[in-house]
Structure 1
Amino acid sequence: MTLEKRLDTTINALSQIGSDPTGGMTRLLYSDSWLEAQKFVEGKMQEIGLETSYDAIGNLFGRVTGTKYPEETILSGSHIDTVVNGGTLDGQFGVMAAYLAIQQLLETYGKPLRSLEVISMAEEEGSRFPTVFWGSKNFVGEASREQVEEIADSEGLKFVDEMRRQGFDFSEEANARRDDIKAFVEIHIEQGNVLENEKLQIGVVNNIAGQKRYTFVLKGEANHAGTTPMGYRRDAVYGFSKICSGIIDRAFAEGDPLVVTFGKVEPKPNTVNVVPGEVLFTMDCRHTDAAELTRFTKEAEEYMKEVANELELELEIDLWMNEAPVPMDADVVKVVEGAAKAKEKKYKVMHSGAGHDSQVIAPHYPTAMIFVPSIKGISHNPAEATDLADLVAGVEVLAQTLYELAYKE
């Protein structure tokens, strides 16, 4: 069977688990469909001779032991959970691509010198419980029991109860960190439209952008829309409009890789005939350079204060996420780039604007990522799709990367 046929068949079969009538998928951590998906992946791993195991919280591993350096492991994979009503590629493509790449290598070259391992991580999305990267954080020893002991999902089902219902529990080893991992490579759909627009098949990721997320409250005075002259108003929406347009204009002037988004806006009282007295809004700002991210957001905060003072408004600032950029390992990135060249794929070296398991793993182990295009940049949506030829190209580059890392001296 060709790689193209294997990939198409495997992705379609896995996508039936957790599918819903809209054409999307919902496969949430510790749900029955989540466990069914892990068991499906485990079965596929066993079919090609991988030794399978789970860690305490449900990360799944499939391993072939190296013939010369068994204590050195090259790891690849991604997460098995989805968002609510998501697509069929985010996360699970990276799991199945790793499995198929290793299958191809075993059939072509036999067993590797270093151990090869697939990881199907328990959770990344944070779609059921108020926690994210549960799988990768446990893998690198960053998770703790205290983070999840008291949390529950929207139906009131407790995290710990659901974990135990599926046969998993906290580790008694206090998150013992593995010392055998020599490289981790994650393949993922881009979830953006850069590769498609530039007619490229492969993105070689060298950095995951840092993020700052804020919630702001701008307070003025609600008043009658007909009897309050323009010069006497303390209009919070007017203040927000100046802030939004001013900062977005500054972001355009800065250019890539900076991005800024005002994604949530809630005016009060939000009615047609009242001057709005308050606006709650959010700002998401991302950049691959920590210093530039800090500089731009500080300037944005100062600009907001100037607008608020000018219009006699009050401004409250809550910075609730502050994640630094995460560079990928330069040596592993070079291997991925060499693999793209060897397979004669059109590629570019680029950053990731979205977060991935790799950002958790990279501070602990040498890490790199491979992107394949997303049609129209759509993701977290039933319309999420990538041309099969591009998915195959990604698996080919991943297989070549793993060959360089695991089969060569």
Structure 2
Amino acid sequence: MSLKKETAAMIDALSNIGADPTGGMTRLLYTDSWKEAQLYVEKQLQDNGLATHFDAVGNLFGRLTGSKYPDETILSGSHIDTVVNGGTLDGQFGVAAAVLAIKYLKETYGQPLRSLEVISMAEEEGSRFPTVFWGSKNFVGEAQAEDVQAEDVQDIADFEGRPFVEEMHRQGFDFRDAKEAVRKDIKAFVEIHIEQGSVLEKEQLQIGVVNNIAGQKRYTFVLKGQANHAGTTPMGYRHDAVYGFADICKTVIDRGLALGDPLVVTFGKVEPKPNTVNVVPGEVLFTMDCRHTDGQVLDSFTAEAESLIKEIAEAHGLTVEMDLWMDERPVPMDENIVTIIEKAVKASGKNYKVMHSGAGHDSQIIAPHFPTAMLFVPSIDGISHNPAEATHIDDLTAGVEVLAAALYELAYQE
């Protein structure tokens, strides 16, 4: 079977596990469909002659031991969970691509010098429980029962009230032992992913070589003015929270446009109160999401935005409350691995560009611990987290080919 047919077949098989009756996929952490998908991947790994095991929380590994440097491991993979009613590529393509790339290398070149390993991570999306990156955080030792950073999973439950811990135990998993040492054998981690944006497609490129994952700051603001009668309150006497928000929105976005790429700023959630046709709105809750690949630029822009928001609120006779609830720093990829991936793309003759990722990925958790890099394949119309998520099979196959070439350089060459 050709690599193209193998890629299509594995994506199709995985996509049937957790297929949503309304379209797309829903495969959430510690559900039965999630476990079924991990067992399916385990069988593919075993059928290809790799030794498999699960860690405490449900991350799956498949290992092909190296002949000369067995204690040096080259790792590839992604996450197996999905968002609710999501697409068929986000996460699982990276798992399938790693399985197929290592299968190809084993069949073509035999045993590598360094060990090759696939990881199918338990969770990244945060779609079932209020926790994210559960798989990768456990892999790098940032989460265990006694010291869970950012989330207390001991007391959380899903949207139907099922406790996290009970569901984890139901599937046969448990917390990572806090005394367990973090692995020291990982020499490189390479994650392949759909772009989830439209840059590659618009520029008619097959591969994106990722050199940085953008930092993010997320805020919630509450503007407070005075609700009043829409007919009897003259325009000049109003403390209109929506008018103030509109001024804020335009001013901050205009500053972002002036600064230019790769900065992005988004006002994604807006809730006016009382949200009634004949009442001047007295309050607006809104969010602001800012991202940039340079931490200093991100800090500078958001500091300016905070100051502008306060000034504009005051000018409109409003008060403002601010909550900065996410502050993730940019994560650069390993320069050496980026160079290896770029070399592999050039050798293949495929069109590519070096680019940053505006979205978060498991790689941003792993990169501070192990040398890490990513590569992207195009997303049709830039759509993701949606049943319409798709990538042409030729582009998926090209991604597997480049991943295999990069893993060859890392695992088979001195």
Query: Shift in Å at residue 315 of structure 1?
Result: 0.6
> What is aligned with 1:257?
262
- Distance in 2 of aligned mates of 1:408 and 1:375: 35
Query: Shift in Å at residue 406 of structure 1?
Result: 0.1
SS of alignment partner, residue 266 of structure 1: strand
Equivalent runs, 1:61-76 vs 2, <5 Å: 61-76=61-76
- Distance in 2 of aligned mates of 1:173 and 1:314: 46
- Distance in 1 of aligned mates of 2:270 and 2:96: 39
**What letter corresponds to residue 236 of structure 1 in structure 2?**
A
Query: Shift in Å at residue 174 of structure 1?
Result: 3.2
C-alpha contact 1:62 1:118 (8 A) present in aligned 2:
yes
C-alpha contact 2:75 2:118 (8 A) present in aligned 1:
yes
Indicate which of 155, 162, 174 corresponds to 1:150: 155
Q: Deviations over 1:109-133 (max 9, x none)?
A: 0010000000000000000000000
SS of alignment partner, residue 359 of structure 1: helix
Query: Shift in Å at residue 157 of structure 1?
Result: 0.6
- Distance in 2 of aligned mates of 1:11 and 1:349: 26
Query: How many residues align structurally?
Result: 409
The answer to whether 1:197 aligns with 2:202 is yes
TM-score, length-scaled by structure 1: 0.99
- Distance in 2 of aligned mates of 1:114 and 1:161: 39
> What is aligned with 1:232?
237
Indicate which of 307, 310, 317 corresponds to 1:305: 310
> What is aligned with 1:323?
328
- Distance in 2 of aligned mates of 1:217 and 1:174: 44
Which ranges of structure 2 fall in alignment gaps of 5 or more residues?
A: none
> What is aligned with 1:129?
129
> What is aligned with 2:220?
215
Indicate which of 289, 295, 298 corresponds to 1:293: 298
**What letter corresponds to residue 309 of structure 2 in structure 1?**
M
Q: Deviations over 1:171-223 (max 9, x none)?
A: 23534200000000000000000000000000000000000000000000000
TM-score, length-scaled by structure 2: 0.98
C-alpha contact 2:209 2:354 (8 A) present in aligned 1:
yes
C-alpha contact 1:140 1:175 (8 A) present in aligned 2:
no
Which ranges of structure 1 fall in alignment gaps of 5 or more residues?
A: none
> What is aligned with 1:32?
32
Query: Shift in Å at residue 20 of structure 1?
Result: 1.4
Query: Shift in Å at residue 372 of structure 1?
Result: 0.2
Query: Shift in Å at residue 22 of structure 1?
Result: 2.4
Indicate which of 283, 297, 302 corresponds to 2:288: 283
4+ long deviations beyond 4 Å: none
> What is aligned with 1:355?
360
Indicate which of 375, 381, 386 corresponds to 1:381: 386
- Distance in 2 of aligned mates of 1:151 and 1:266: 26
RMSD: 0.7
> What is aligned with 2:57?
57
The answer to whether 1:9 aligns with 2:9 is yes
**What letter corresponds to residue 180 of structure 1 in structure 2?**
D
Q: Deviations over 1:62-101 (max 9, x none)?
A: 0000000000000000000000000000000000000000
The answer to whether 1:92 aligns with 2:97 is no
C-alpha contact 2:140 2:369 (8 A) present in aligned 1:
yes
The percent identity for this pair of structures is 75
> What is aligned with 2:167?
162
SS of alignment partner, residue 149 of structure 1: helix
Indicate which of 382, 399, 402 corresponds to 2:407: 402
